[in-house]
């Protein structure tokens, strides 16, 4: 009888120990969380139809585009809405060029110009065309948990703070909210070295494409612009399929 009693006590102790440690076992590391975000959002290639909806100073502008990209080295974007039809961007060999049908000329965008607004939006050229992993550029730390309302649904999230490993980063500090259930990047804030917040991003919609969850609708605000936000929508997204070299050619830019 005493032996059975002791056995029950031991089993209860082991069970309570397992459950008391379960939350700690389920908490991923900051590096693992950042790796999961990279796995969802970084692609080898992408093709899509896009809309950029700009609301600024009480006015609303809609830009329509087609885009192709390969890694972080090649991108091609062509605008098709009436006001911007024929405007094209080509990123290749570390250079970003824009073709304007108004003057039928090509202009190189470099240096500080990369941080300027793309097509009057809240996104810079760097924001729009960046496809480099965060894991390779930042040191992450988990600073807590939070609950965000995304399109009417409450989502529990890990909160990470990121510090750039190099001085050349446009945003030396970032703060990320990562969905605890599916690793969606729900929100991020971008900071200057001084700690001033420059921009904020909020996810509106993600879809399962292939083996990953991919953001297809999001909103960005440049906090240095008054009364401004930009909504970015991606449709007909194709990921990780081969794209012909001719898409990223100078001839395609100028024709």
Per residue in 69-95, pLDDT (tens digit) is 998 889 999 999 999 999 999 999 888
H-type helices in the chain, by residue range? 2-26, 30-41, 125-129, 250-254
Q: How far is CA 36 from the centre of its chain?
A: 13
Under-50 pLDDT residues of the chain: 1-25
Which numeric CATH code is attached to 33-254? 2.50.20.10
pLDDT score recorded for residue 26: 72
pLDDT score recorded for residue 129: 76
Q: Per residue in 7-52, pLDDT tens?
A: 434 344 444 434 444 444 478 999 999 999 999 998 999 999 999 9
Closest CA to 67 of 240, 236, 255: 236
């Amino acid at each position: 009888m005493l032996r059975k009693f002791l056995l029950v006590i031991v089993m209860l102790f082991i069970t309570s120990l397992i459950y008391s440690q379960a939350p700690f076992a389920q908490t991923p590391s900051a590096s693992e969380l950042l790796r999961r975000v990279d796995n969802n959002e970084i692609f080898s290639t992408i093709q899509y139809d896009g809309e950029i909806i700009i609301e600024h100073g009480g006015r609303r502008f809609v830009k329509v585009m087609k885009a192709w990209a390969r890694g972080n080295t090649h991108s091609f974007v062509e605008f098709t809405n009436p006001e911007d039809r024929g405007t094209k961007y080509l990123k290749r060999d570390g250079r970003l060029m824009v073709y304007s049908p108004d003057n039928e000329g090509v202009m190189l965008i470099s240096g500080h110009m990369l941080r300027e607004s793309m097509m009057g939006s809240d996104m810079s050229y760097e924001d729009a065309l960046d496809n480099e992993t965060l894991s390779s550029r930042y040191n992450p730390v988990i600073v807590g948990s939070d609950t965000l309302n995304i399109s009417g649904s409450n989502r529990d999230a890990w909160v990470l703070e990121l510090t750039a490993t190099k001085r050349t980063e446009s945003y030396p500090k970032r703060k990320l909210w990562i969905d605890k259930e599916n690793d969606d990047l729900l929100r991020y804030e971008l900071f200057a070295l001084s700690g001033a917040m420059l921009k904020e991003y909020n996810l509106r919609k993600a879809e399962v494409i292939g083996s990953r969850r991919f953001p297809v609708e999001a909103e960005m605000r440049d906090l240095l612009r008054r009364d401004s936000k930009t909504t970015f929508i991606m449709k007909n997204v194709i990921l990780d399929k081969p794209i012909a070299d001719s898409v990223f050619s100078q001839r395609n830019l100028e024709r």
